[in-house]
Amino acid sequence: MIISSIAFLSLLVFSQAASPCCSNPCQNAGVCVTIGYDHYECDCTRTGYYGENCTTPQFLTWLKVTLKPTPNTVHYILTHFKGIWNIINNIPFLQNTIMGYVLTSRSHLIDSPPTYNSHYGYKSWEAYSNLSYYTRSLPPVGKDCPTPMGVKGKKELPNASMIVERFLLRRTFIPDPQGTNMMFAFFAQHFTHQFFKTDTKRGAAFTKGLGHGVDLNHVYGESLDRQHKLRLKKDGKLKYQILNGEVYPPTVKDTEVEMMYPPHVPEHLRFAVGHEVFGLVPGLMMYATIWLREHNRVCDVIAQEHPEWDDERLFQTARLILIGETIKIVIEDYVQHLSGYHFKLTFDPQLLFNQRFQYQNRIAAEFNTLYHWHPLLPDTFQINKREYNFQQFLYNNSVILEHGISQMVESFTKQIAGRVSGGRNVPAAVFRVAVASIEQSREMRYQSLNEYRKRFTLKPYESFEELTGEKEMSAELESLYGDIDAMELYPGLLVEKPRPGAIFGETMVELGAPFSLKGLMGNAICSPEYWKPSTFGGRVGFEIVNSASLQKLICSNTKDCPFTSFHVLKSKPTETATINVSSNSALEDVNPALLLKERSSEL
């Protein structure tokens, strides 16, 4: 009798401890609210659905869902029929209409204002206002749930190291079929470090960043103290030094800026830039040097236009110009390459001026996690017929001085990066980083891959074989996780079958693109109040922003203007086109369009 009573009480305690929302009963963005210990209700407000679990569509919702093509169908259309897209790209009304739809359809998938963080799985003022947290697209799995993914799968997740070894670690290098190169890989790493700044001392839920978007703190410094130490305090410029006749970052000794260098790095190679970790690899310092040169070059252009302006106004205006350049390059070069679209993406903030759009952004923890694109890295780095392994490459700024920026750009443009999705392509050198990515995801209690697919209007996978597109890995994954609805987010993104001829699978693109475009277009400079010539110092500064491209950035800041892009050439160049542009020359002296036209047959 006593034993039976104890068993009953234990069952009662368990039933009260496990939230009825653990099973994620509310569908189609419905919000689950517990009613007592064992009941719940779904808030279906403005979801377009109704019913106990928000599963019954309203008529207009049903019509929209019925007529809407799948993401893979849309992707196929955008990456085929090149002739038709060439026509559309040259008809401004059609091009702008489609681009406006791309921006709104993606950006509206991101909650603004933010809703959750890792400590608040319900709406609260703390989750909204505390900027030290990453925000969340989905609330964390409750600590009282029966399994790490809610109610599905096994009670314990498989060992993170084993997951990396068996499914993520590279056997042989798998090149990206889209031809992504190392210029892209290092740009991605350099660009995202301005807003992915996890505070490892406080935990994976927190960011050290004061801003949540593109503010170029990785160029200028996160704090005002760091910024002022990096500034020349003359003509708006940043401090620099001349080596081999070219501009390079100053040293730690000359700036007293803290950088992360191991003891063996000599003093003259301890370059000081906006982000403390950019001495890690020469590819990051290459971009840091290019943007340093660009800032000082823009200052010269603006000072010539406005000799009456003081150092502070020149600096602040140049920063706004560089933020604009960055966003334009990211959309029109970086995202354009990743998409593989024949449709031409354009950066035009005015397309959103008549839309319901909020010019603010919060970096989501899930966005930080999915951006761990370590498979991009090759096994070795090749620069001008020299080959460097990881050990030789790390903390080795001598590579920059030995080869020069032009040679590094030329070499990284030619070297292909790895495919990200599809599994088994993470280099052994970053094994521990991949393990940490999984462990941090578990610390954050992310919901399953399928829950995120549903959150971003994708059909959940019904089997591991559907996820991976093959039989071997899918069988192993099923034995470890037990249920496709228990598949973790980060490993799931990396083992997902890639789209045909693409670097990513469907989920990576459909989750990543909304975060990316909302973060870019939600920037203050894209607002009606800021997006005007006067913000950027007048017509000349506005033109610098509106004409920015990766090729122009390189041509404006290297001596011999090497051809560059975010993908490797399909054939060897048969002609050489050289445009000499000094690091201080105005944009009017550069015509990268001519260079691209001359080499278009090589792409």
Residue 296: Cβ-neighbour burial (10 angstroms; 0-12, 13-18, 19+): buried
Residue type at 500 in one-letter notation: P
**Whether residue 113 has a cis bond before it, omega within 30° of 0:** yes
Are 398 and 283 in contact by the 8 Å Cβ rule? The answer is: no
For residue 58 the two structure tokens come to 């309203």
3-state secondary structure 374-385: HHHCCCCEEECC
Active-site pick, 75, 190, 193, 403: 193
Q: What is the DSSP string of 99-149?
A: HHHHHHHHHTTS-SS--BBTTBSS--HHHHH-TTB-BBSSPPPPTTSSBTT
Catalytic: 371?
A: yes
Are 18 and 146 in contact by the 8 Å Cβ rule? The answer is: yes
Q: Which residues of 410-431 are buried (b: 16+ CB within 10 A; e: fewer)?
A: bbbbbbbbbbbbbbbbbbebbb
Name the residue with tokens 């799995």: 141
Give Cα separations from 98 to 89, 119, 334 (angstroms): 10, 39, 19
Q: Tell me the residue ranges of DSSP E strands in 154-270.
A: 241-243, 246-248
Are 163 and 148 in contact by the 8 Å Cβ rule? The answer is: no
**Sequence-ordered list of residues with C-beta below 8 angstroms from that of 468, at least 6 positions apart, any chain:** 423, 474, 477, 495, 496, 497
Residues 465 and 547: their CA atoms lie apart, in Å, by 46
What number of CA atoms fall less than 13 Å from residue 213's CA on the CB side?
Answer: 19
Catalytic: 193?
A: yes
Q: Which residues pair with 247 in a beta bridge?
A: 242
Residue 195 has φ and ψ, to the nearest 5°, of -130, -10
Helix H or strand E segment including 60 = helix 59-67
Residue 279 has φ and ψ, to the nearest 5°, of -80, 0
The C-alpha angle 219, 225, 229, rounded to 5 degrees, equals 65
Active-site pick, 50, 341, 371, 530: 371
Residues 281 and 493: their CA atoms lie apart, in Å, by 26
Helix H or strand E segment including 82 = helix 82-89
Mapping DSSP to helix (H, G, I), strand (E, B) and coil, where does residue 313 land?
A: helix
CA gyration radius, the chain: 25
Helix H or strand E segment including 49 = strand 49-50
Residues 488 and 486: their CA atoms lie apart, in Å, by 6
Residue 218: Cβ-neighbour burial (10 angstroms; 0-12, 13-18, 19+): buried
- Cα 142 to chain centroid distance, Å, stands at 28
Mapping DSSP to helix (H, G, I), strand (E, B) and coil, where does residue 245 land?
A: coil
Name the residue with tokens 């970052």: 249
The residues that are catalytic are: 193, 371
